[in-house]
């Protein structure tokens, strides 16, 4: 199971939102490149970057910062936020992004899912962002009343995806622990490999997810807990060895 530090970028700063609320944020750094280099020095195997301005607007907005990060660090980067067409995916992969994270369009367009999987295979991954079982879209600001998280996961499995990111948006940024119950149900029903995101608060939380590794949890995205000093990346990596 891998530990993936998160860098959420909004208006050029590294921030954390509370439950995805754009009006409830805390700035941790005004230099995302410096933060990425820090995680690289701490032996991160993968860095998860979210362009929050892109997620909100529907078009990536912080690509120059991402490109600078790609120049400065050799750690693989996965990027999400406002990526909603194949042309943008191609451009990001060509620029050096290792994996593109899809959200809103993936939840709304089955044809797009099939097209992207066929062309990019495991260079794309879908993030299932859910609140009370409903898929959240448009930067988590809107609930997709037409599709449940489990329905989307089963659709992804049927199309041919083998891995997903799963975020309980009500847990994200709260430091109240991950939604183990829904995570277990998702894995049991779909057989998908899952990267868990949202709510990590302690090494104990990581231990609970590590216990699910054999059933399908392959990674954990950690944000606020690292920025708030609840534990270091080195401690997290050691905890899941």
* Domain range annotation of the chain: 2-239
* List 51, 53, 129, 205, catalytic entry: 129
With cut-offs at 50, 70 and 90, classify the pLDDT of residue 169: confident
With cut-offs at 50, 70 and 90, classify the pLDDT of residue 141: low
Q: How far is C-alpha 94 from the geometric centre of its chain's CA atoms?
A: 20
pLDDT confidence of residue 146: 63
Catalytic annotation on 8?
A: yes
pTM for this prediction: 0.94
With cut-offs at 50, 70 and 90, classify the pLDDT of residue 228: very high
Lowest mean pLDDT of 53-62, 105-114, 145-154, 232-241, name the range.
145-154
Lowest mean pLDDT of 2-11, 20-29, 134-143, 224-233, name the range.
134-143
Q: Please report, for residues 8, 19, 52, 139, 175, the alpha-carbon distance to residue 22 in angstroms, rounded to integers and kept in the order given.
A: 12, 9, 9, 9, 17
Q: At what angle do helices 149-159 and 110-120 cross, to 10 degrees?
A: 40
User: Does the structure show a pLDDT above 70 at 116?
Assistant: yes
Instruction: Please name the fold of domain 2-239.
Output: TIM Barrel (3.20.20)
pLDDT confidence of residue 101: 97
pLDDT confidence of residue 139: 54
Lowest mean pLDDT of 150-154, 160-164, 171-175, 233-237, name the range.
171-175
Which residue is listed with tokens 């998860």? 48
């Amino acid at each position: 199971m891998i530990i993936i530090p998160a860098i959420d970028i909004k208006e050029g700063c590294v921030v954390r939102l509370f439950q995805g609320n754009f009006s409830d944020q805390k700035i941790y750094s005004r230099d995302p490149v410096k933060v990425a280099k820090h995680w690289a020095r701490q032996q991160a195997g993968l860095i998860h970057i979210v362009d929050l301005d892109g997620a909100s607007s529907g078009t990536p907005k912080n690509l120059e910062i991402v490109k600078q990060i790609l120049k400065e660090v050799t750690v693989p980067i996965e990027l999400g936020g406002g990526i909603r067409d194949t042309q943008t995916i191609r451009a990001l992969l060509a620029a050096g992004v290792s994996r593109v994270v899809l959200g809103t369009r993936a939840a709304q367009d089955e044809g797009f899912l099939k097209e992207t999987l066929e062309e990019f295979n495991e260079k794309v991954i879908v993030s299932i962002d859910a609140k009370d079982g409903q898929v959240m879209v448009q930067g988590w600001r809107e609930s997709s009343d037409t599709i449940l998280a489990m329905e989307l996961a089963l659709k992804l499995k049927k199309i041919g995806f083998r891995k997903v990111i799963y975020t309980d948006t009500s847990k994200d940024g709260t430091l109240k622990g991950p939604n183990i119950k829904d995570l277990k149900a998702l894995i049991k029903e779909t057989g998908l490999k899952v990267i868990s995101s949202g709510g990590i608060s302690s090494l104990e939380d990581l231990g609970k997810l590590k216990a699910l590794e054999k059933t399908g949890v392959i990674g954990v995205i950690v944000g606020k807990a690292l920025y708030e000093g609840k534990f270091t990346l080195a401690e997290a990596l050691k905890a899941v060895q």
